[in-house]
Amino acid sequence: MSTVTSPTVLEATGLEVSFPVVRGGHRTTVRAVRGVDLSIAAGETLGIVGESGSGKSTLARAVMRLIPAEGAVELLGTDVSGLSEREFRAHRRKVQMVFQDPYSSLNPSLTVGQSVAEPLKVHTKMSGPERRSRVEEVLDLVGLRAEFADRYPDEFSGGQRQRIAIARAIILEPEILICDEAVSALDVSTQNQVLSLLESLRERLGLSYLFISHDLAVVRHISDHVAVMYLGEVLEQGPVDRIFERPAHPYTQVLLEAVPEPEPELQRSTTKRVLEGEIPDPTNPPPGCPFQSRCPFAMDVCSEPMPVVEIEGGGISRCHLHTSGPRLGGAPLASLDDAVATQEQQETR
């Protein structure tokens, strides 16, 4: 039986973003995104996870060309990284963004209809009545009534405002939607409603998502694949089930262990690994693996360039545990935990 592979709609290679900063009176540079590679297939969702300051939002803005970046970005097979702003305009409609804060992302002086129609005024030659018809169509798609077009954002709840922002993002019929913490400002009930809407739109419109969140439960629910970022670098990538059930990088495992257990008794009885130390200075990251100063399994070799190891079950891990020392060789990190536990038991006998 042949396997049908979906075409790639977004591919970033060697993406780099640097910012000049002043520390102690001296100018230096923060490499906020460091050599990131990622790809998204048609109709799929790539989740990006990591602590605050890991570079997730900067990565999203680099893909959208909202900030300067180095490296290559391909949209639907076209390299857009070298295009001028004018040349890129024709491609911008293919990738749109939904931001975190539904209160600040909408202009309070514009009606909902005016805000949602704004991309049409920039990218199309539609007449006023045609724009109005299209606005009403997308408002219906996101579960809002047509008459809401004549009201102002401050008349709506946070969840409704985020639906309005989503309507504005899909009005040009993009191929890719970048969601930057798009549900983190909402309460849990409203989060679930917006996530259900995003999943419905993916099915109806054939959208692909780059979904950024610090909430691992949300990422697991909506994503097909996951990339784990730390200090501007991707340390692990893979199918969502493999990442969550068989993490292959210590940082991924620590992130997953930090998720609270729903049952209090289980939470108290489970031994969690606690991160020690501080996040390295982003202006002077350590050589090799950026996580080495906080990693419970760190070795001398971790100061050398990180390997790229294919993991059983799909994806990669950039960790020397798979090439040196315990030689996991692509096995999940739990294999090392079991080996360490067995050794400790033998030593205490």
Inform me whether the pLDDT recorded for 4 exceeds 60: no
Inform me whether the pLDDT recorded for 171 exceeds 50: yes
**H/E element, 283:** none
**H/E element, 161:** helix 158-170
Q: Identify the DSSP state of 307.
A: P
In a domain, 238, yes or no: no
Structural domain boundaries enclosing 197: 8-230
Q: Read off the pLDDT of residues 193-244 as tens digits, 9 standing for 90 and up.
A: 999 999 999 999 999 999 999 899 999 999 999 999 999 999 999 999 999 9
In a domain, 237, yes or no: no
In a domain, 2, yes or no: no
Query: Is residue 106 a contact partner of residue 152, using CB atoms and an 8 Å limit?
Result: no
E-only strand ranges, the chain: 8-23, 26-41, 45-49, 70-75, 78-79, 95-98, 176-180, 208-212, 225-230, 233-239, 309-310, 316-317
Question: Which of these three, 179, 202, 230, is where a domain ends?
Answer: 230
In a domain, 242, yes or no: no
- Please tell me whether the overall predicted TM-score, pTM, comes out greater than 0.85 for this model: yes
In angstroms, how far is CA 335 from the centroid of its own chain? 28
In angstroms, the CA 146 to CA 222 distance is 28
Q: Identify the DSSP state of 55.
A: S
- Which CATH number does the domain housing residue 141 bear? 3.40.50.300
Q: Are residues 187 and 288 in the same domain?
A: no
Query: Is residue 311 a contact partner of residue 323, using CB atoms and an 8 Å limit?
Result: no
Q: Read off the pLDDT of residues 309-344 as tens digits, 9 standing for 90 and up.
A: 999 999 999 999 988 655 566 667 776 665 554 444
- Mean pLDDT for 123-131 is 93
> Each residue of 302-330: b (16+ CB within 10 Å) or e?
beeebbebebebebbbbbbbbbeebebeb
Say what the pLDDT of residue 269 is: 47
Reported as a pLDDT band with limits 50, 70 and 90, residue 90 is confident
Q: Are residues 90 and 154 in the same domain?
A: yes
Out of 94-108, 146-160, 330-344, pick the least confident.
Answer: 330-344
Question: Which of these three, 230, 257, 273, is where a domain ends?
Answer: 230
For residue 263, the SS3 value is: coil
Q: Are residues 276 and 143 in the same domain?
A: no
Inform me whether the pLDDT recorded for 346 exceeds 60: no
Q: Which of 57, 105, 60, 95 is closest to 75 using CA atoms? A: 95
Q: Are residues 219 and 273 in the same domain?
A: no
Say what the pLDDT of residue 274 is: 64
Say what the pLDDT of residue 248 is: 93
Say what the pLDDT of residue 263 is: 55
Say what the pLDDT of residue 52 is: 86
**β-pairing verdict for 95-98 and 176-180:** parallel
Q: How many CA atoms lie within 13 A of 214 on its CB side?
A: 11
Inform me whether the pLDDT recorded for 2 exceeds 70: no
Residues 6+ apart with CB under 8 A from 342: none
In a domain, 241, yes or no: no
CA angle 111, 112, 114 (to 5 degrees): 65
Q: Are residues 59 and 117 in the same domain?
A: yes
Q: Are residues 205 and 301 in the same domain?
A: no
Q: Are residues 44 and 135 in the same domain?
A: yes
- Mean pLDDT for 30-36 is 93
Say what the pLDDT of residue 9 is: 94
In a domain, 179, yes or no: yes
What is the number of structural domains in the chain?
Answer: 2
Q: Read off the pLDDT of residues 251-301 as tens digits, 9 standing for 90 and up.
A: 999 999 877 655 555 444 455 566 677 788 888 888 999 999 999 888 899
Angle of the 158-170 helix axis to the 188-205 helix axis, nearest 10? 20
Q: Are residues 175 and 274 in the same domain?
A: no
Q: Read off the pLDDT of residues 34-88 as tens digits, 9 standing for 90 and up.
A: 999 999 999 999 999 998 889 999 999 999 988 999 999 999 989 998 888 888 8
Say what the pLDDT of residue 222 is: 95
Out of 10-24, 129-143, 235-249, pick the least confident.
Answer: 10-24
Reported as a pLDDT band with limits 50, 70 and 90, residue 1 is very low
Q: Could you tell me the maximum CA-CA distance found in the chain, to the nearest angstrom? A: 82
Question: Which of these three, 196, 230, 264, is where a domain ends?
Answer: 230
- DSSP H helix total and E strand total for the chain: 11, 12
Q: Are residues 226 and 307 in the same domain?
A: no
